[in-house]
A = this chain, B = another copy of it.
């Protein structure tokens, strides 16, 4: 019995995606700023590499072009409203940290800020830049990770249930649902 399929033109249907606050600037000549992005993903393990797509019209684009670094801050479900705001309002006109009650901290290895209230922040140095059309892809090496200490479990790992990370799919924000198992479980069961 075959399953009926509908064929659409190509579009951005891959889901879910992460949703991150991209931190840029140096807090001196270029103000610290955050922008929401969902066009992001891990692309390689060793060295750890992430990619983000940024429209050239964005303030974040100017900031990354100038300083060649950014942070990816993973927000919680409780921060969904602030995350949405930071995707709509431009940092050219507004200090989004202060309007959203978020705190910019200097990262450990780069000049860009991390968001103190986000449970996990990745500090990234740009290694590649590729013009893809509407968005420029920046590929960054993750040079450090900052985690809220109270969310680290007794095995030294981020407790994801406590972190309550946000996901993005087809225009909506979601919390993560049921944990369905860990990688390699059918093999391990044998």
Contact of A116 among B2, B15, B53, B185 (CB under 8 A): B2
Interface bits A1-35 vs B (CB < 8 Å: 1, else 0): 01111111111111111101000000000000000
Q: What's the Cα separation between A15 and B121 when bound, in Å?
A: 11
- Candidates B40, B139, B172; contact of A182 at CB < 8 Å: B172
Q: Contacts A18-B15, A41-B39 given: A9-B84 contact, CB under 8 Å?
A: no
Please, how many angstroms separate the alpha-carbon atoms of A168 and B65 in the complex?
31
Chain B CB within 8 A of A101 CB:
no
Known contacts A133-B49, A145-B7; A15 and B160 CB within 8 A of each other:
yes
Decide: B53 and A44 in contact? CB cutoff 8 A.
yes
Q: Is the CB of A187 within 8 A of B88?
A: yes
